[in-house]
Structure 1
C-alpha cells in the first residue's frame, strides 16, 4: 500500500478536510497506477490538473507515487485551499525530491488552455442543495467551505459544467478524467448520457461510506 501524504496545520473551517471521498481517490489511483503509467509512458511531462484540490492530499499523492515525472497544476476558487495544497506538497517532499506541483486560484479550468490537460481529477461539491453558493469576495468570509460541499440541484450543477467541457479540456489523444460521484448524483445515468456523447465510461472503484455510496468513474474518448 502506498503511503498516504501527511496533512497538518489546516484550518478546517475554511478548507475541506480529507474524508472518505479523498481516500477513495487515493485508492483509485493506487489501483490505476499501471494504467496511467502505460498511457503516459511516452509523454515527457504530462499535465495533471485537480479541480478543487482542498487540502492537496490527492494531488500530492499523485505527484509522489503515481506519475512523478508529471507536472501537477491544481485549481481552486478558495485561496485558503490553494495555499494549503502548496503547504501539503512541501511538507511531503523528501530531501532528494521536488514535487512539480503548483496551485492556481481559478474557477474550474478557466485559465488553462484548451486540450492541455492529460489527467483531470475532480472531487466535486456533490451534496444536493437549492443552489450553488456564490464565491465570497473576502478571504475572511466564513462560507468558503460551502463551495467544496454544495453542488446545487442533484449535487450535479458544477459537475455537469466539467463533464460538458471535457471535449475541449482534455488533451486530444490521451486525455483521461477521474470524477467522483455519490449515489444521489445518479452516476449510472450520468455514465449512459456521456456514452451517448461518445465517451468511454468505466467504474473504477466504489465504496459505502457511512450512509452514502461513493464511486469514481473514468472518462476517455472513444
Structure 2
C-alpha cells in the first residue's frame, strides 16, 4: 500500500481556508494506486492537477512515480491553497510547482497536447448558480465545493478544455457524484471530444455516491 501523503505541516487554521482531504480525495488516491503500475510504465513527463487544494493528490502521484523527470504542475484559484500545495510537496519530498489561476487559464496555451496525467477533483456539490459564481469570484474554501446547477457548472467549463490539454497517450481522472449525471458526462466526452471514459472506482460516503472517471483518447485505453 502506498502511504497517504504527510499533511502534518498543515494546521486547523489552514483547513479553514483550504479543502481538507476527505472521502472524495481518498477515493481518488485509491484509483490512482490501482493504476500505479500503468502510470509508472507510461513515464509521464507533465502531470497537471487542477484545484490542488492541500497538494495531497499531486504529492501522492509523486510518490507513485518515484524519482523521475516528471514535472508536477498544480493550479488553484485560492492563493493559500497554492502555498499549502508547495509546502505539502516539500514535506513529502516531491517538487510541486503551484500556479494561482482559474482552472488552467494561464497555462493552457503552453500545455496544449502535452499533459500526460491530468487530474481534477472539482466543486461538484449542487448549489444555485449565484452561490457557485460568488465562490469562484471570491476564492475561499467555498470555491472547493460549490458546483452550481447539478454541481456541474465549473466541471462543464473544464471538460471543454481538457481534451486540448491531453497528450496523445494522456489520461484524465475526474471526481464526480451521482447527481452530476455520470452517463451524460461519459457520453458527451466520447461524442464531442473522442475521449473514451469509464468509472474506475465508486463508493458511498454518507449521502454522496462518489465516482472516479478515467478518460483516454480513443485507441489508447488500458483494460484495467
Taking structure 1 as the reference length, what is the TM-score of the superposition? 0.88
* 1:39-77 Cα shifts (integer Å, max 9, x gaps): 33xx6xx11011000111111010122354221000000
Q: 1:88 Cα shift?
A: 1.1
Residue in structure 1 matched with residue 72 of structure 2 by the alignment: 72
Q: 1:38 Cα shift?
A: 2.7
Q: 2:114 aligns with which of 105, 108, 116?
A: 116
Q: Which moved more, 1:194-203 or 1:208-217?
A: 194-203
Q: Which moved more, 1:13-22 or 1:67-76?
A: 67-76
Decide whether aligned partners of structure 1 residues 52 and 68 sit closer, same or farther in structure 2, where only a CA change above 3 A counts: farther
Q: Kindly indicate whether residue 35 of structure 2 is the aligned counterpart of residue 37 of structure 1.
A: no
Q: 1:203 Cα shift?
A: 1.3
Q: Kindly indicate whether residue 172 of structure 2 is the aligned counterpart of residue 177 of structure 1.
A: yes
Does the CA-based 8 Å contact 2:74-2:98 persist in structure 1? yes
Structure 1: runs of 5 or more not aligned? 94-98, 138-142
Structure 2: runs of 5 or more not aligned? 219-224
Residue in structure 2 matched with residue 140 of structure 1 by the alignment: none
Decide whether aligned partners of structure 1 residues 85 and 145 sit closer, same or farther in structure 2, where only a CA change above 3 A counts: same
Q: 1:116 Cα shift?
A: 2.4
Name the Cα RMSD after superposition.
1.5
Residue in structure 2 matched with residue 81 of structure 1 by the alignment: 81
In 1, Cα distance between equivalents of 2:133 and 2:87: 26
Q: Kindly indicate whether residue 212 of structure 2 is the aligned counterpart of residue 216 of structure 1.
A: yes
* 1:117-139 Cα shifts (integer Å, max 9, x gaps): 111100000001112233456xx
Decide whether aligned partners of structure 1 residues 194 and 30 sit closer, same or farther in structure 2, where only a CA change above 3 A counts: same
Residue in structure 1 matched with residue 57 of structure 2 by the alignment: 58
Taking structure 2 as the reference length, what is the TM-score of the superposition? 0.87
3-state SS of the aligned residue for 1:4?
Answer: coil
Higher helix share: 2
Q: 1:106 aligns with which of 68, 78, 101?
A: 101
Q: 1:190 aligns with which of 185, 188, 206?
A: 185
Moved >4 Å (runs of 4+): none
